[in-house]
Amino acid sequence: MSFIDYYDKKYVQFICERCNSALSRGYCAICGRLVCSACSELIGYARVCKICKEKFSITNYEMLKELLKVRADNMDFKQCKLKMIYDKKTEKLGDYIFVAVGIDDIDSPYGMCTTFAAANLAYKLLEDVEFLDFPLLVRLNPNIPSKTRGNAAVALRFRVESSKFHKIRSLILSTVERFSHSGFRKTNTGVVIYYSNSICIPRVFVDFYELAVKNIVSINDVFDVLDKMHVGNIEVYDCGNNRGIIGALAAIGAQFDDWTYELLTYRASTGYDRIVDKTNVISFDKYSKPYTFGNVHKERILITPHGLDPVLYGIIGDFPEVLLSGLFLIKSENPVLWCIFRTNQATDTHINEITNPEDAKPYLTVKISAKVCKILKEDRAIVILARVKEWLIKAYAYEPMGPVRKIVQKLKTGDVLELTGAVFYQDVFEKIITMNIEKIRFVEIVPEAIERNPFCPKCLARLKSKGRKYLVCPKCGFRIEKTKIIILSARDIKENSLLLPPPSAYRHLTKPPEREKIAEMKKHGILKPYLVYPFVGIMKPYYTIKMDVIQPKIV
């Protein structure tokens, strides 16, 4: 029996392209092939297959960065020609139509960013369309090995005169083709355009988004969903192996019960170095708290990426006006474009709460309660061994987890934890689950048990050992057979407390503790999404207009 038969057939798409015998952990930053742990190495934060590592004599991250920069400068990425691969129409268009555009998989390790294409497109569309929402930045399952850095797709939702639709369609396709890095093996750009007389989204699209952010989907799932669409018209375009249309369709169906906003600024150059004033960012962080988060950690700036992409910096928060103030308060090289996106980042949307360990499949982020049986050190990781039913969970905390590792080492046998993490291996025969820790909640903490000699019943002095059999009072000579008393004391780990890594190790979807109250207000409808004009531009905005977000009806 093949190992792949242990899982759903959807896992076939993620088999290592070097050995063809194991599930991949990511793609090689040089050649773009999906590779497993045995066929690759992590160099810095990038995965490189062993063949490319040897071929290009890569021994450290700086050498890899230099190689990518040289290859990026000499590589021609203008190979994308979008072709329609699916077309379905159920409506005859009226005078005005609702349009939702989904775009995914434009970037590569050599540069570009899907949000940059979306921001350019939104800016070009301003004069011709009525935007109903910010551009949506939709983070999907962060564990998918073929993903780009953050597995993000984007969507634009607007109303437009039907007479302009052909012009708008041409602009969408030409803009995406211009920015796509489809010359890289992994990049498979996809565009989905949905339009209807009504401001609505088919229920099957929303269900598909919810599946794509938590689970694994395949190309076949996309076409099953498209065939079930019963309202509106849809056009699907692709210039690769169709993988990009997965994220594009999921972005169209995205519905957020909790959301944040991100201001992204873009630069003209595409090297590794960005000019952003560190001291200034720290001051902005103090000014904007608690309405922005993840800006700095211990004097380290977190708002700037470190790749060859065009992003200068990005600020995430709960209110768009606060983000806009960053354009004025943060000193940096001059952005050539900026845009605010509404996102599902920092919402924990990707987590599957499970009770049955059999449901902890590879590439899923799960939350499950388990009882600690041992703590180990393994290479560069601290490993929690915990039991749930007859299953063993091996939960890894690596160096970027920082103080989490110190606290994990204090855990004891019998402690009950709620483990949240990304599953990367499941052995259904040995009943072993291997996962990387994302966060831990301490459900039950066993007290510290200390064995001590009892006190003398006559003079209250502590008894001392006398030979193998007796305890003797050092003051009055009272003697009894040896016995011990157990003293229980509280430990410095508090029950029901939540342990997260430092912000520098957060995943895009990880909800920071400071968002809890605002997140609940959004989920219960106390705070509603709204649109601020302008939300995209070249110049800094000196006025804003607040408008209602018009949410599409789910049909």
Q: At residue 84, does pLDDT exceed 80?
A: yes
Asked if the structure places residue 237 within a domain, the reply is yes
Asked if the structure places residue 553 within a domain, the reply is no
Asked if the structure places residue 453 within a domain, the reply is yes
Residue ranges making up the domain that contains 44: 3-74
Last residue of a domain, one of 17, 48, 74: 74
Asked if the structure places residue 551 within a domain, the reply is no
- Say which range, 225-234, 285-294, 485-494, has the weakest mean pLDDT: 485-494
Residue 433 sits in the same domain as residue 339: no
Band the pLDDT of 479: cuts 50, 70, 90. confident
Residue 248 sits in the same domain as residue 212: yes
The residue to which tokens 């489809």 are assigned: 182
Residue 142 sits in the same domain as residue 183: yes
pLDDT for the residue 5: 52
Asked if the structure places residue 480 within a domain, the reply is yes
Nearest to 367 by CA among 393, 345, 328: 393
Q: At residue 325, does pLDDT exceed 90?
A: yes
Q: At residue 162, does pLDDT exceed 90?
A: yes
**How much is the average pLDDT of 99-116?**
94
Q: What ranges make up the beta strands (E) of 121-257?
A: 130-131, 136-139, 152-161, 190-196, 200-201, 233-238
522-542 pLDDT, tens digit per residue, is 999 999 999 999 999 999 998
Report the helix count and the strand count for the chain, using DSSP H and E: 11, 34
pLDDT for the residue 7: 58
What does pLDDT average to over the chain?
93
Residue 438 sits in the same domain as residue 462: no
Last residue of a domain, one of 27, 45, 74: 74
**How much is the average pLDDT of 116-125?**
97
Asked if the structure places residue 552 within a domain, the reply is no
Band the pLDDT of 449: cuts 50, 70, 90. confident
Find the CATH number of the domain harbouring 320: 3.90.600.20
Residue 101 sits in the same domain as residue 112: yes
434 vs 49, 253, 390, 396, 437, CA distance in Å? 22, 32, 15, 8, 10
Band the pLDDT of 375: cuts 50, 70, 90. very high
The residue to which tokens 């590792």 are assigned: 405
Band the pLDDT of 1: cuts 50, 70, 90. very low
Q: At residue 90, does pLDDT exceed 70?
A: yes
Q: What is the CA radius of gyration of the chain?
A: 27
Residue 128 sits in the same domain as residue 206: yes
| Coil, helix or strand at residue 111 | strand
Per residue in 176-205, is it b (16+ CB within 10 Å) or e — as a string?
bbebbbbebbbbbbbbbbbbbbebbbbebb
Residue 117 sits in the same domain as residue 224: yes
Q: At residue 402, does pLDDT exceed 90?
A: no
Q: At residue 425, does pLDDT exceed 60?
A: yes
pLDDT for the residue 460: 86
Find the CATH number of the domain harbouring 210: 3.30.70.2200
542-554 pLDDT, tens digit per residue, is 889 999 999 999 9
Nearest to 110 by CA among 27, 55, 175, 181: 181
Asked if the structure places residue 392 within a domain, the reply is yes
Residue 219 sits in the same domain as residue 291: no
Residue 283 sits in the same domain as residue 387: no
Band the pLDDT of 78: cuts 50, 70, 90. low
Q: At residue 448, does pLDDT exceed 90?
A: no
pLDDT for the residue 2: 46
497-519 pLDDT, tens digit per residue, is 999 999 989 999 999 999 999 99
Band the pLDDT of 222: cuts 50, 70, 90. very high
Residue 281 sits in the same domain as residue 427: no
Q: Crossing angle for the helix pair 114-125 and 165-179, nearest 10 degrees?
A: 150
Find the CATH number of the domain harbouring 369: 2.40.50.1010
**How much is the average pLDDT of 240-269?**
95
Half-sphere exposure of 444 (CA within 13 A, CB side): 9
Give the separation between CA 499 and CA 513, rounded to whole angstroms.
10
Last residue of a domain, one of 231, 252, 273: 252
Residue 326 sits in the same domain as residue 386: no
Give the separation between CA 397 and CA 434, rounded to whole angstroms.
11
Main-chain phi, psi angles of 207, to 5 degrees: -60, -35
Report the number of distinct structural domains present in the chain. Answer: 5
Residue 284 sits in the same domain as residue 146: no
Task: Count the neighbouring beta carbons within 10 Å of the beta carbon of residue 245.
Answer: 28
Asked if the structure places residue 555 within a domain, the reply is no
